[in-house]
Structure 1
Amino acid sequence: MSADLVLDHLSKRFPGARSAALDALSLTVAARTCTAVLGPSGSGKSTLLRVIAGLETPDAGTVRIGGRDVGPIVAERRGVGMVFQRSLLFPHLTVRDNIAFADRVAGMSRTAARTRAEEYLAMVQLAGYGDRRVGELSGGQEQRVAIARALAAEPAVLLLDEPFSALDPALRTDMHDLLATIRRAVSPTIVLVTHDRDEAARVADRIAVVEDGALLHEGSVADAYRRPRTLQVARLMGGRNEIPGRVVGDRHVSVLGRFPVRQTAVEGDAVLLVRQEDVLLAEPDTPVPATASRIEAMVTDVRRAGARTDVTVRTPDGTVLHAEAPGTAPPIPGDAIGLDLPHAALHVVAA
């Protein structure tokens, strides 16, 4: 049921558009894995899915599924299932018959198609809902049925176009858990489009960051957060600490000091990155760990953000940095504080 998906230099420009929707984008998604395509609105994410599905024709480039160029193949024969932000279920059919639709179109008997539909209903944890009408379902239930309908066609590739974005946080968490269950059961190759980096980190094996139709970064979830390829990727992934300076030998040199660079980096102008959640708060007079560098600073702002507390500090030279503090006993504005920057968490990108 699963197959490799290989996109090779896909380009697409819509008539009258100032820029390309896809700009020579290449991406490989291994069979049975999930890649989240992350980017701001208008970055080309949905166009990418529509090209894979055969709903849009690229101006250049190829889409290969299981080694086969599917460009000449019509959408319904590509072995691709797609779930949109809206469920797009047939309101005149029962839940069971919505799921059985693909099998019925393929010529399967009604009895057999409905029997298979019940199997997929159970997979999405809606056993017993087969006789209901679409109008009797909640938003989360509709999306479960839409996923079941897509899976019933046994696609080699499952495309998810922000299918959970309209759901409340609790339901989204349930859907993320459901997706993990589905992956264990049938192992489809999945491409998930989202603008939510937390969702991408939770459900995907790898993250592809797209902006203006171009692929800026592709790698593991950890790489996207802590080893981004560019400053723009770091910002899209929510990084807040950027220290301008230069790489000299194996050090990044800036007004804040000399910090070891663990990666191979070309000498010259570079920005040192360290994610706010990796910065450790310390009392100024406590020993500095051997595996970290300390910066002395003053707290300028403290804001609670759910279970986290965001702490903003300013160093004597005026550099503003951010850290996260435990929910209990956070510092207060005006406190002198030390920031320990773990060497393993430091990363440089070109300025």
Structure 2
Amino acid sequence: MSADLVLSGLTKTFSASPTAALDDLTLAVAAGTCTAVLGPSGSGKSTLLRVIAGLETPDRGTVSIAGRDVASVPAERRGVGMVFQRSLLFPHLSVRDNVAFSDRVAGMPRARARERAERYLDTVRLSGYGSRRVGELSGGQEQRVAIARALAAEPAVLLLDEPFSALDPALRADMHDLLEAVRADLAPTILLVTHDRDEAARVADRIALVEHGRLLHEGTVADAYRRPGSLRAAELMGGRNAVPGEVVGGIHRSALGAVAATGVADGPATLVFRQEDVRVGEGTDAGSLRIAGTVRSRRLVGARSEITVDAGALEVHAEVASVSALRPGDEVALSVPEALAHVVVG
């Protein structure tokens, strides 16, 4: 069912905008894997999905599925399924007949199409819901039906355009579990568009960071967080610490000292590290960068707190447990394992 998806040099400009929605974007998604496309609003994420689906025509570049260039293939024959933020179910059809729709359009007998629909309803954990009307479903159930309908068409590639963003946090978590179950059962190739980095990390194998139609970074989830391709990529992944310096002979030197910068050319560069990786008030070893400073502020971040520390000319952000006694004005010792610090150009 799954297939490789390869995008090469995609460029798309709309007449109403002076800037390209997609700007020479190249990306590969291996068969059976999930890549999350992450970026701010207006970055070109949804346009990318519409080009892949055949709903928009690129100015330049190619879309290949299973090694076949689908540029001249109509949308309905590309083997691509798409689920939007809104479920877009047919209100006059039952849940079962919504899922069976693609098979019926293809000429399959009604009984057989409905039988297959029940299989996909079971996959999305809606067994027994087939006879219900769309108006009887919750928002989360509607999205499950939309996913089942897309899967029933047996697409080579499944495109998800922020399908969970309108759901409350508990329902979103359920949908993430569902997507994991679908992947285990059917192993589709998935490209998921989202603006939520936590969602991307939860459901995807790899993350592609996009801004202004350009690909800033592509790699594993761990690399997106801790080895971003640029300072902007680090910022998009929520990184809060950036220390300017310069690379000379493979060594980055800054106010925090010297750190290896393998593969980075000589010149201005920035040392980045995650606020979650900063150790507060703990013992340090020889492989750590040491920082002393004064707590300037503290704010809640979910179940934890983030402190901002003035360390000479530097501002350092760290996370602490909600029960930590640290308050503004307190002196504090920080350390960052060198293995968790990363040098980027710029």
TM (normalized to structure 2)?
0.98
- Length, aligned pairs only: 346
**Inter-partner Cα distance in structure 2 for 1:131 and 1:212:** 45
Deviation (angstroms), 1:330: 4.1
Change (3 A) 1:330 1:345: farther
Deviation (angstroms), 1:346: 0.9
Change (3 A) 1:92 1:341: same
Which residue identity lines up with residue 170 of structure 2 in the other structure?
Answer: A
Which residue identity lines up with residue 272 of structure 2 in the other structure?
Answer: L
Q: Is the 8 A contact 2:103 2:153 kept in 1?
A: yes
**Inter-partner Cα distance in structure 1 for 2:234 and 2:324:** 29
Deviation (angstroms), 1:325: 0.7
**Inter-partner Cα distance in structure 2 for 1:78 and 1:92:** 27
**Inter-partner Cα distance in structure 1 for 2:127 and 2:287:** 53
Listed as ranges, the matches of 1:1-351 within 5 Å are 1-254=1-254, 256-261=255-260, 263-282=262-281, 287-315=283-311, 317-351=312-346
Deviation (angstroms), 1:257: 3.3
Q: Is the 8 A contact 2:231 2:344 kept in 1?
A: yes
Change (3 A) 1:66 1:121: same
Which residue identity lines up with residue 46 of structure 2 in the other structure?
Answer: S
**Inter-partner Cα distance in structure 1 for 2:165 and 2:150:** 18
Larger CA deviation: 264-273 vs 236-245: 264-273
Deviation (angstroms), 1:34: 0.3
Deviation (angstroms), 1:262: 5.2
Q: Is the 8 A contact 1:263 1:347 kept in 2?
A: no
The alignment partner of 2:210 has SS state of strand
The alignment partner of 1:185 has SS state of helix
Q: Which runs of 5+ in 1 are unaligned?
A: none
**Inter-partner Cα distance in structure 2 for 1:160 and 1:341:** 37
Q: Is the 8 A contact 1:246 1:271 kept in 2?
A: yes
**Inter-partner Cα distance in structure 1 for 2:256 and 2:19:** 41
Deviation (angstroms), 1:15: 1.2
Render the CA deviation track for 1:176-210: whole Å, top value 9, x for unaligned. 01000000000000000000011001100000011
Deviation (angstroms), 1:266: 1.8
Q: Is the 8 A contact 2:253 2:259 kept in 1?
A: no
Which residue identity lines up with residue 277 of structure 2 in the other structure?
Answer: D
Deviation (angstroms), 1:304: 1.5
The alignment partner of 1:125 has SS state of coil
Q: Is the 8 A contact 2:256 2:290 kept in 1?
A: no
Deviation (angstroms), 1:260: 1.8
Render the CA deviation track for 1:129-179: whole Å, top value 9, x for unaligned. 111111111100000000000000000000000000000001001000100
Q: Is the 8 A contact 2:5 2:66 kept in 1?
A: yes
**Inter-partner Cα distance in structure 2 for 1:59 and 1:251:** 42
Which residue identity lines up with residue 91 of structure 1 in the other structure?
Answer: P
**Inter-partner Cα distance in structure 2 for 1:216 and 1:103:** 39
RMSD value, Cα: 1.1
Change (3 A) 1:308 1:263: farther
**Inter-partner Cα distance in structure 2 for 1:214 and 1:250:** 28
Which residue identity lines up with residue 336 of structure 2 in the other structure?
Answer: L
The alignment partner of 2:270 has SS state of strand
Q: Is the 8 A contact 1:261 1:346 kept in 2?
A: no
The alignment partner of 1:71 has SS state of coil
The alignment partner of 1:129 has SS state of coil
Paired-residue identity, %: 66
TM (normalized to structure 1)?
0.96
**Inter-partner Cα distance in structure 2 for 1:257 and 1:158:** 45
The alignment partner of 2:81 has SS state of strand
